Structure 1
Amino acid sequence: MATREMAAFLRSRRDRVRPGAVGLPEGERRRAPGLRRAEVALLAGISPDYYMRLEQGRAGRPSPSVLDALARVLGLDDDERDHLYRLAEPSPAHRGGEDGRVEARVRRLLDVIAPVPAYVVNGRLDVLAWNAMAAALLCDLAEQPEPSRNMLRYAFLDPRSRAFYADWETIALHGVAQLRTATGQQPGDPATEALIAELDAESPEFRACWERQDVKGPGSGSKTYRHPVVGTVTLDYVGMVLPGGGDLQFVTLTAPEGSPSQDALDKLADGLG
């Protein structure tokens, strides 16, 4: 059975597709900039009634061919397409690291790669382990009690995060998109639902981000931090899913050799003795 989550996701993706992008006239009588339901159905080769029931969460489970057609019409990227498939056929997955434990060999790797800041998070962005350099870099987050040490809780509920993250909005949107992905990977997880409820109750900004229905998996990019000791630091991050079938990610932060940001990292390392 199609889920309410899938219905909401389809509506959000339909709303962002401009008619002109798929060869349809824009028209002046449209109530919204996106496609109409009947247009999505036509382009996907399914009946308007069936698509309407999909968006109402009361249709049968769509076939792979229907999901492929919808992904094509709605212009879904790889992360979004995977999310659509998970929502269409949710299944329990192995919850690696669910109890907060990180294998000793992974913790050893965190220490060995110092002075590169590195940490381990799960799908909802709880920080489960990190090395001394990561703690020195993410100093405000390191102060949080371990049970509540979460990237999103820090970003939305700790006012210091807005000064610390130079690109706060980008980081917040990406983090929420990763949390949305986690809900598809681990549907009904109590800890994830509790985090969503907490952030929804306490942060209007989180609610606005959550309503976008964006999804993202682990990836790479750059982040700029305003550190209280070493100043502005721009670092490249790489998130890698750890083996074992769970949702744990190993994240590293680096800077080009000889760059001001690497000099800042070196200064942080010197401060650790």
Structure 2
Amino acid sequence: MATDANRLGDYLKTRRTKLDPTSFGFSTRRRRTPGLRREEVAQRANISPTWYTWLEQGRGGNASADVLDRIARALMLTEVEREHLFLIGLGRPPEVHYRGGDGFTPRLQRLLDAMPYSPAIVRTATWEVIAWNRAAAVVLTDYGTLPPGQRNILRMIFLNPHVREIQFDWESVARGVVAAFRVDAARGGADREVAPLVEELCTKSPDFARMWRENDVQLRGDGVKRLRHPVLGTIALEYSSFAIDGRPDLGMVVYTPTTGADRDAIRSLVEPGPGIVGGMDWARSSTR
């Protein structure tokens, strides 16, 4: 049974005993217990066998993030197991490895599609939109008509005159976007990945350059977004942001109609009747 006094050691021991020595080229002769030996884990992690033994025994002191990362690789830990190792070993999660859109599953797409009248998107830590439902295409932007590199929310806000025009209080919206983007990029381990985008926007948009220099940070977990939609007119959407479990570099944003009338209006674009054909045309024009 794991004890509070040696949670790290207990966890390391249980993880190594679950591994098959033959998978790593180690002999199974003269083994009294299952799994890898301590010295074999230490060898794979390139650390001292004595110190690794002390870590399991609860007398090795605090291991660095680098050592824990090497042990995690040596023990073939999953992302969730690696996070748990850092939480009990250092009291904090590990640094996030930015993965972009890798690993997006059909299950997530089905979740988006299950909200037919609520525009919903999944974005990366660099604010690239990598998935959306039909409601998002007809109300926000038809992302499918854009090359992948142009599906970036910041590029749309600062470089697309039409997107700027349909926002209520564009200045406030843009400031909030920049401040939240800065937080998401840092949390998602994407500082290096966003550098070219930031340089591009600073060059092309004096407004972005000004707001970026202010170094503001802000969380945008929920709120109300108002749009001047060319087909629906003025529309208000409550937005909520959700973390995707196991993927701190991805986030889901769902926009919910605030009234039944707004919901019915969106439905008229998602499921157009014989006389309603403007939804997708508007969405395409909004990206040009």
- The TM-score with structure 2 as length reference comes to 0.58
Corresponding residue of 2:96: 93
Cα offset for 1:228?
1.9
Aligned length: 183
Q: Is the 8 A contact 1:124 1:178 kept in 2?
A: no
Mapped partners of 1:234, 1:251: distance in 2: 15
Matches within 5 A, 1:62-77: none
Q: Which residue of 251, 254, 268 maps to 2:253?
A: 251
Q: Which residue of 130, 134, 137 maps to 1:135?
A: 137
Identity %: 35
Of 196-205 and 110-119, the range deviating more from structure 2: 110-119
Mapped partners of 1:187, 1:106: distance in 2: 22
Mapped partners of 1:267, 1:166: distance in 2: 23
Where has structure 1 moved over 6 Å in runs of 4 or more? none
CA gap of 1:109–1:205, structure 2 versus 1, over 3 A, is same
Q: Is the 8 A contact 1:117 1:254 kept in 2?
A: yes
Mapped partners of 1:265, 1:118: distance in 2: 13
Q: Is the 8 A contact 1:177 1:213 kept in 2?
A: yes
Corresponding residue of 2:201: 199
Mapped partners of 1:243, 1:90: distance in 2: 14
Cα offset for 1:99?
3.9
Corresponding residue of 2:244: 242
**What SS does the corresponding residue of 1:166 show, helix, strand or coil?**
coil
1:229 aligns with 2:231: yes
Gaps of 5+ in 2: 1-91, 275-288
String of CA shifts for 1:158-183, please: whole Å, max 9, x gaps.
Answer: 11112121232222111101221134
1:261 aligns with 2:242: no
String of CA shifts for 1:76-122, please: whole Å, max 9, x gaps.
Answer: xxxxxxxxxxxxx9973133x42454222111101112122111011
**What SS does the corresponding residue of 2:125 show, helix, strand or coil?**
coil
Q: Radius of gyration: which is bigger?
A: 2
Q: Is the 8 A contact 2:122 2:253 kept in 1?
A: yes
Q: Is the 8 A contact 1:90 1:184 kept in 2?
A: no
Gaps of 5+ in 1: 1-88
Mapped partners of 2:230, 2:118: distance in 1: 19
RMSD between superposed Cα atoms in Å: 2.5
CA gap of 1:149–1:101, structure 2 versus 1, over 3 A, is farther
CA gap of 1:272–1:172, structure 2 versus 1, over 3 A, is farther
Mapped partners of 1:138, 1:225: distance in 2: 9
Instruction: Give the letter for the 1:119 counterpart.
Output: I
- The TM-score with structure 1 as length reference comes to 0.61
String of CA shifts for 1:137-194, please: whole Å, max 9, x gaps.
Answer: 1136554322220111000011111212123222211110122113432556433111
Q: Is the 8 A contact 2:101 2:124 kept in 1?
A: no
